[in-house]
Amino acid sequence: MTFIENYNLDEIKNEVKDVAYNELEKQLSSISDDDICKCTDCVQDMACYTLNQIKPRYTVSLLGSLFTKAETEVLIKDIETVVSMAIEKISQNPLHSKS
């Protein structure tokens, strides 16, 4: 058996990812479709940019996924800022022709 087959690694979760996706959805919904491209490629690029800028927080248990209130507030503020930067950068430089 391989290493991956021996251990259940599917339960490892990056807690930052869900927070980042929720923030990206929130910010994109507040911007008109006429103002920026929201195609799958651009939104995926925005998500990748965001996740590459934020330190991941991997957990494997419910206890591990509980942030302290202070950590959560700082994390959310950081993610809000990075998502805003991601939207700006990707919308100004999409990997496809602007239509």
The predicted pLDDT at position 13 comes to 86
> Does residue 26 carry a pLDDT above 80?
yes
Domain boundaries, the chain: 3-92
Residue 66 has pLDDT above 70, yes or no: no
Work out the burial of residue 79: count CB atoms within 10 Å of its CB; fewer than 13 is exposed, 13-18 middle, 19 or more buried.
buried
How far apart CA 28 and CA 43 sit, in angstroms, is 9
Q: How many whole angstroms separate alpha carbon 43 and alpha carbon 75? A: 21
Are 87 and 32 in contact by the 8 Å Cβ rule? The answer is: no
The pLDDT tens digits of the residues spanning 27-51 come to 999 999 999 999 999 999 999 999 9
Q: What is the pTM of this model?
A: 0.84
